Amino acid sequence: MSHFMIYVPRQLASDATILERVGLPDLVANVEMATTMQGPDGSGLLCFWREKGEFGKHFLYQPTEQTWIPAVPYDGLPAARYFVGIQNDSPPTPNDLRYANHPGHSFVLGNGQSWTFPLLGMLDRAFKYRDDGQIEWEPIMRFKRLCETAENIRLQFRDSEEGEIIPLETVVDVLTQALQVNYRLTRELVSHLELFHTGNIREPFWAAMGIQEALQLEEAGAI
């Protein structure tokens, strides 16, 4: 199984909260951890995922056979707070990384393989009581930020004038978060695999946002 590892610098004890603290809460499920005295920048904690009974050198730090990518700064968290390691001869595939099956539309991305983008409007919701006793449905906590971002885009450009543009950075961020619904992925891995480029982001974005909403954005000249 081709997968990847996360290395957290200067973390010398297994800690169930470490992935959340470095901004990777979606990677907590089924993670295994091991301290290492040899890592990309010294000693730290290796985090990895494997099938039952699976062993091998790809769960060890092997700098001549692996590429290690420092974390990018995101959401107020610093750069290089972790490193993502992949095997040079077997980069991870969608089948390796998939851990959920939220329905959606599939598209071939920059690595030549098919990835499924969920319909953001159909992600799981939980019922909440309002102050007046009525029930409303809100995205579950895991999806709340992504759904709020998508809704803000819809509201922002619902009455937009022609010529207003959604920044490509925003589009790529939404698409990355959408992929993370079904796949065990980091932003660094998305970048390293070159999944997105200017010629392939429009259709997945339409699909994830919902065709009707996307067409409204297109008609407004927003994308």
pLDDT digits (tens, 9 = 90+) for 82-108: 999 999 999 999 999 999 999 999 999
**pLDDT for the residue numbered 219:** 63
Does 120 fall in a domain? yes
123, part of any domain: yes
**What is the pLDDT, as a whole number, of residue 164?**
65
Helix (H) or strand (E) holding 147: helix 141-158
Q: What is the pLDDT of residue 19?
A: 95
CA dihedral of 23, 79, 167, 215, whole degrees rounded to 10: -30
C-alpha distances in Å from residue 117, one per residue of 98, 170, 172, 208, 221: 12, 16, 13, 6, 23
Query: Exposed (0-12), middle (13-18) or buried (19+): which is 159, by Cβ within 10 Å?
Result: exposed
Domain of 8 in residue numbering reads as: 4-92
Q: What is the mean pLDDT of residues 164-185?
A: 91
Tell me how far CA of residue 172 lies from CA of 39, 55, 111, 136, 217, in angstroms. 30, 34, 16, 30, 16
Using alpha carbons, select from 152, 151, 129, 139 the residue that is nearest to residue 102: 139
Written as one string, the DSSP assignment of 61-122 is --TTTEEEEEPPPBTTBPTTSSEEEEETTS---HHHHB-----EEEEE-TTS-EEEEE-GGG
Banded model confidence at residue 149, pLDDT cuts 50, 70, 90: confident
Decide which of 59, 92, 125 is a domain's last residue: 92
Contact partners, residue 113, CB within 8 Å, separation at least 6 = 93, 94
CA angle 190–194–196, rounded 5-degree value: 80
Which tokens sit at 17? Answer: 């909260």
* pLDDT surpassing 80 at residue 53: no
Reported as a single tens digit per residue, the pLDDT across 59-86 is 789 999 999 999 999 999 999 999 999 9
What is the model's pLDDT at position 1? 42
Q: What pLDDT is stored for residue 179 in this prediction?
A: 97
Total domains in the fold of the chain = 2
Q: Does residue 110 fall inside a structural domain?
A: yes
Decide which of 91 and 217 is more confident: 91
Mean pLDDT of the chain: 87
Q: Among residues of the chain, what percentage have pLDDT more than 90?
A: 56
Give the mean model confidence (pLDDT) for residues 7-17: 90
Considering the entire predicted model, what is its pTM? 0.85
Residue 36 lies in a domain: yes
Question: Are 125 and 161 members of one domain?
Answer: yes
